[in-house]
Structure 1
Amino acid sequence: MNDAPHGAPHGAPKDDAPQGLPGLLDLLDLERIDLDIFRGTSSAAPLVPRVFGGQVAAQALVAAGRTVPADRPAHSLHSYFLRPGDPAAPIVYTVDRIRDGFSFTTRRVVAVQHGQPIFHLSASFQRHEEGLEHQEPMPAVPDPLSLPSGEELLPRYAHLFGDPSVVERMLEARAAIDLRYVDAPPYASVGRPREPKSQVWFRTNGKLDGAADDPLTHLCLATYVSDMTLLDSILLAHGRGGWAVGDIVGASLDHAMWFHRPFRADEWLLYDQESPSASGGRGLAKGRIFTADGQLAVSVIQEGVMRVPRARG
């Protein structure tokens, strides 16, 4: 029985959960343990021993959305990463029903592990209304199918990573998502600073249908992917390869998203990203997600820790 007003995926993840898109949908399918309390499982980020931030943000949005009527999709979220998540332990999400108004609904979610908050999110939901319309134009980019897939791109740079398992781990972590860089990624641009801009096309590796084909599911999948590459533009400005090559120690600090127009996560989306500033051991990046037909669907802003590792000796 689906206890989610939005019809989000249901059924608790199991130890032998499938991989790829079915595995990601299982990961985003939280167990309801009380009216406004949910529990989720985790997987480790591919290159660091902590939970991937996009997973926590997406699960928190699932928890918030399951307490909101289906006719009020999320239009924004604002969140902070407080502590690293432990991939070996479940995460408990507690939802606070801040406000249920005539047009808007507000929820606050706290994610807890080992008795301590690791993440908190505020999300706002709105009943559909007609209003003013305008948007920035979509940039001109190559067709996604003309660009190399991750399976084609990553092995080309295996020699840069040092550890031969890095490619395998990165591919496994992104098995649910077909993500294609428009230009060379940071790990291919080490030592060659360039304009702090990065673009990727993405979609799920498989179509969403049945209970998974739900507006909340599409929003949560975009939230998950939005944390994968957003800090790339900061690295590009300094010719740094990032976590894959070990020349930056970083982590997400906060994450905000605004959902402007409907979209499908199983259809191609362009993620246009840039960094206006880096200072004080932090970097700021902002992104725009467009549908393939040019609709501006989502705006994203994130700040992250950006520290250069100290030389040994």
Structure 2
Amino acid sequence: MSSPKAPEDGQGGGDPPGDLRSVLVTSVLNLEPLDEDLFRGRHYWIPTTKRLFGGQIIGQALVAAAKSVSEDVQVHSLHCYFVRAGDPKVPVLYQVERTRTGASFSVRSVKAVQHGRPIFICQASFQLTQPSPLQHQFSMPTVPPPEELPDYETLIDQCLRDPNLQKKYRVVLNRIPARNVPIEIKLINPSSLCQLENMEPKQMFWVRAKGYIGPELQRPGAQG
């Protein structure tokens, strides 16, 4: 991703203070209300593909849906469809439809629109907070906690010190620290970062936002 620009003081619709990465996370999820169940989302970085980052669209759509339900429910499931490529030069409008509001479950449909056409649609269900006997995910594997693992910057520095590292990989690794990515990743197998060839087709890692993202996007029971 390209290097983002921080909002100027006194501008940007009341963006929260803090370091750049924290502002990126909090600001991009701070939607502007335009009408009932209608919001506008802005962008603070542009991927190298020159298209909107899909994770940003999902996050903003989920925030829009969460604003139409009560605080005592949490995200239960989310089904997403990317219809068209997003244009990073214009904001995104999020239209929320209150499909159903029940005693235990509520369903919201969200349409993300640019240039008068939908670029993304999703359906989110919200469940009243309560214990459930059902488990749909795999058991948590036995892995080191994130506190015991080096961060990406440390791993990159270690790789760059390797005299056997090929030049083309050295160029790629040197570019990573320049990107103000608001996501922190810690690899379970740190040595895999330097082993850019003959890697297994799967990898485990810890991931979290570097800034506060609010309770709407931190539900451990949410399913994609």
TM range (shorter): 0.7 to 0.9
How far apart are the structure 2 equivalents of 1:182 and 1:200? 5
Counterparts of 1:13 and 1:41, CA distance in 2: 13
User: Conserved in 2, the CA contact under 8 Å of 1:13 and 1:29?
Assistant: no
From the superposition, tell whether residues 186 and 43 of structure 1 become closer, same or farther in structure 2 (CA, over 3 Å): farther
Instruction: Indicate the SS of the match to 2:203.
Output: strand
Tell me the C-alpha RMSD between the 2 structures.
2.9
User: Which residue is equivalent to 2:150?
Assistant: 148
Cα pair 1:74 1:124 within 8 Å, conserved: yes
Is 1:201 the equivalent of 2:206?
Answer: yes
Amino acid at match of 2:153: E
Once residues 172 and 131 of structure 2 are traced to their aligned partners in structure 1, the CA distance between those partners, rounded to angstroms, is 53
**Residue in 1 that maps onto 2:32:** 31
Q: Is the Cα contact below 8 Å between 2:109 and 2:122 reproduced in 1?
A: yes
Q: State the match for 2:188 in structure 1.
A: 182
SS of the residue corresponding to residue 112 of structure 1 reads strand
Q: 2:129, 2:110 → 1: CA distance?
A: 23
Please say if 1:218 is aligned against 2:218: yes
For residue 125 of structure 2, give the secondary structure of its aligned residue in structure 1.
strand
Residue 17 of structure 1 deviates from its aligned partner by 9.2
Question: Residue type matched to 2:142 in 1?
Answer: A
Instruction: Report the counterpart of residue 66 of structure 2 in structure 1.
Output: 65
- Count residues with an aligned counterpart: 204
Runs of 4+ aligned structure 1 residues displaced above 6 Å come to: none
- Distance in 1, Cα, partners of 2:90 & 2:41: 9
**Mapping for residues 1-313 of structure 1, pairs under 5 Å:** 12=13, 19-132=20-133, 134=135, 136-155=138-157, 156=159, 159-160=168-169, 162=171, 166-170=175-179, 172-173=180-181, 176-184=182-190, 188-194=194-200, 196-205=201-210, 208=212, 214-219=214-219, 259-260=220-221, 298-300=222-224
Tell me which amino acid in the other structure corresponds to 1:166. Answer: R
Q: Cα–Cα, structure 1 residues 72 and 164, in superposed 2: closer, same or farther, change >3 Å?
A: closer
Alpha carbons of structure 1 residues 191 and 203: separation in structure 2 relative to 1, 3 Å: closer
Describe the superposition over 1:60-88 as per-residue Cα deviations: whole angstroms up to 9, x where unpaired.
Answer: 00000001111111111000112222222
The structure, 1 or 2, with the larger RCO (C-alpha pairs under 8 Å, 6+ apart) is 2
Q: Which amino acid aligns with 1:83?
A: R
Alpha-carbon offset, residue 164 of structure 1: 7.5
Counterpart CA distance in 2 for 1:114 and 1:185 is 45
Q: 1:204 to 1:38 in 2, by over 3 A?
A: same
Q: Deviations over 1:223-268 (max 9, x none)?
A: xxxxxxxxxxxxxxxxxxxxxxxxxxxxxxxxxxxx52xxxxxxxx
Distance 1:87 1:63, change over 3 A: same
User: Highest CA radius of gyration, 1 or 2?
Assistant: 2
Structure-2 residue corresponding to 1:307: none
Structure number with the higher strand fraction is 1
CA distance in structure 1 between the partners assigned to 2:48 and 2:204 by the alignment: 22
1:186 Cα deviation after fit: 7.3
Give the structure-1-normalised TM-score: 0.57
User: CA–CA distance in 2 between the matches of 1:61 and 1:12?
Assistant: 20
Q: Distance in 1 between matches of 2:206 and 2:18?
A: 27
Cα distance, 1:197 vs. partner? Answer: 1.9
TM (norm. structure 2) is 0.77
Contact kept, 8 Å, 1:12 with 1:30, in 2: the verdict is no
Distance 1:49 1:102, change over 3 A: same
The CA distance in 1 between the partners of 2:14 and 2:116, in whole Å, is: 22
Among the aligned pairs, what percent are the same residue? 35
Equivalents in 2 of 1:201, 1:115: separation in Å?
A: 38
Separation in 1, partners of 2:76, 2:178: 33
* Distance 1:205-1:38 versus aligned 2 partners, 3 A rule: same
Does the 8 Å CA contact 1:43/1:51 hold for their aligned counterparts? no
